[in-house]
Amino acid sequence: MGVVTESQFHVLAVDDSFFDRKMIERLLQKSSCQVTTVDSGSKALEFLGLRESNQSDDPNATSTSPEVEINLIITDYCMPGMTGYDLLKRVKESAAFRSIPVVIMSSENIPARISRCLEEGAEEFFLKPVKLADLTKLKPHMIKTKLKKESEKQAEEVKPEIEEEESPVIEILTLHQELESEQQEPMLSNNKRKAMEEVISTGRSRPKYNDITTSV
Amino acid sequence: MELAQMQKSLQDYTKSLFLEGVLDSQFLQLQQLQDESNPDFVSQVVTLFFQDSDRILNDLSLSLDQQVVDFKKVDPHVHQLKGSSSSIGAQRVKNACVVFRSFCEQQNVEACHRCLQQVKQEYYLVKNRLETLFKLEQQIVASGGMIPAMELGF
């Protein structure tokens, strides 16, 4: 087992209903996650360290709690003020936090809503009431993010100029490395298929490591 | 009463709630979340549900009694009640809320009044049943026994 699976994952859960927060908190705890709950999208952004106005000249704007690393955000869709969808957009627009996987929950099964969220970058869309079995889908996303962060750290030590011209080569190498390290872990076949499709279709405009790693 | 008999009573009682459709499998999900670290989770969550629901039903009564009913106020309440009843497995309450919401959409005040009555009826029923269930559990625990695990295989 890799180092990644031994450390606990920290999830930020967002829901305006106290009752629902209690439920999702317990579900996540039961799935061995550390949980922080907040009751609104703006509080979620505050917790992450993203100000509403996105002041880049503010030296304190990077993070209010730098020691807290959030591995996943799970949010209700229907909330007053900032909806889960708005929160998703804000997170994905932020350079610092876009790599954090976001999951949307909703009690309403509206296909247009679901596809809109997925298109905006949500990893999963859960229908409420969320079940324990649903949460097992979260681990791969959180592990993937940790792996990505680790390989990004390694890549920084290599020459950064390589990125533009040789990116296809590096992408293939990385995938190969990921596949090798995976042999120690069980693989989820449908995520692998998805990842393979991404490698084939990926263009230069895509962020380099986005979604080409296979889950472990 | 003997411990084994109490445990059997509890199981039979719980089973009957499922068979009557008062509870659905989501209630079992709740029980799965209860363990040694959270031994009272189910009763805590259900108590929370009761508190929430009492408040919501009260607000709904007030809203529907207005001269001009503001459905923008009524619908979110019903939505919330539908959500929480669904989360604890109170199937009949949830179903009554679904009907209620469709009449809210039509802005049919008459029908909404009827729906509210229906929701209240189902709510008081499940509340009564669950309170009985928790009493049975408490009796077992007080006698030093374990609550038998419930499976939906009947």
Q: Is the dihedral of CA A175, A176, A182, A186 positive or negative?
A: positive
Q: What gap in Å lies between CA B33 and CA B15, rounded to an integer?
A: 19
Quick check: B49 contacting A, CB < 8 Å? yes
Interface of A with B (CB under 8 A): 17-20, 22-23, 26-27, 29-30, 78, 107, 128-129, 131-132
Residue A193 has pLDDT above 50, yes or no: no
pLDDT in tens, A151-169: 877 887 775 555 455 445 4
pLDDT in tens, A128-153: 999 999 999 998 888 888 787 778 77
pLDDT in tens, A32-85: 999 999 999 999 999 998 755 444 444 444 444 555 789 999 999 999 999 999
pTM of the model: 0.76
What pLDDT is attached to residue A82? 96
Of A105-109, B97-101, B142-146, give the lowest mean pLDDT range: B142-146
Quick check: B31 contacting A, CB < 8 Å? no
Q: Which long-range contacts (CB under 8 A, 24 or more apart) does B11-20 make?
A: B11/B148, B11/B150, B13/B132, B13/B133, B13/B136, B14/B133, B14/B150, B15/B154, B17/B129, B17/B133, B18/B152, B18/B154, B19/B154
**What ipTM is given for this predicted complex?**
0.90
The enclosing H or E element of A35 equals strand A33-38
Residue B124 has pLDDT above 50, yes or no: yes
Option in B32, B45, B82 nearest A22 (CB)? B45
Residue A210 has pLDDT above 70, yes or no: no
Q: What gap in Å lies between CA A201 and CA A35, rounded to an integer?
A: 36
Paired tokens of B114:
């009827």
The amino acid sitting at A183 is: Q
pLDDT in tens, B15-71: 999 999 999 999 999 999 999 999 999 999 999 999 999 999 999 999 999 999 999
CB contacts of A27 in chain B (<8 Å) are 33
Nearest chain A residue to B87 by CA: give it. A129
Residue A189 has pLDDT above 70, yes or no: no
Residue B132 has pLDDT above 90, yes or no: yes
Picking from A6, A47, A41, A10, the residue whose alpha carbon sits closest to that of residue A25 is A10
Could you tell me if A26 and A87 are in contact, meaning their C-beta atoms sit under 8 angstroms apart?
A: no
Picking from B25, B83, B137, B96, the residue whose alpha carbon sits closest to that of residue A23 is B83
CB contacts of B26 in chain A (<8 Å) are 129, 131
Interchain pair B26, A129: CB under 8 A: yes
What pLDDT is attached to residue B51? 96
pLDDT mean over A189-200: 43
What pLDDT is attached to residue A177? 53
CB contacts of B102 in chain A (<8 Å) are none
